[in-house]
């Protein structure tokens, strides 16, 4: 079974790349057993969605001034 430290690393990595089957299964199993990591994963997901609003380039309101 994964340690919480390793599970947290995988939670972060899955937002940047696809996890291997082994990584996905290990993380899923860990999350079924660990409520603290489930909450951490939920918070990662909220931050990921919030951060997507800042990915697009902002309009340049100073152009031509």
CA–CA distance, 2 with 10 (Å, rounded to integer): 10
Number of domains making up the chain: 1
Please state the rounded mean pLDDT for residues 17-43. 97
On whether residue 44 sits in a domain, the answer given is yes
Q: Which domain holds residue 16?
A: 4-53
On whether residue 28 sits in a domain, the answer given is yes
On whether residue 17 sits in a domain, the answer given is yes
On whether residue 58 sits in a domain, the answer given is no
On whether residue 63 sits in a domain, the answer given is no
Reported confidence tier of residue 50, pLDDT bands at 50, 70, 90: confident
Longest dimension (CA), the chain: 59
On whether residue 62 sits in a domain, the answer given is no
Please state the rounded mean pLDDT for residues 43-54. 83
Task: Check: pTM over 0.85? Answer yes or no.
Answer: no
Nearest 5°: CA angle at 41, between 38 and 44? 155
On whether residue 22 sits in a domain, the answer given is yes
């Amino acid at each position: 079974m994964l340690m919480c430290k390793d599970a947290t690393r995988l939670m972060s990595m899955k937002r940047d790349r696809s996890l291997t089957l082994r990584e996905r299964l290990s993380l899923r199993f860990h999350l079924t057993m660990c409520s603290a990591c489930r909450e951490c994963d939920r918070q990662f997901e909220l931050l990921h969605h919030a951060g997507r609003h800042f990915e697009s380039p902002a309009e340049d309101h100073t152009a031509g001034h």
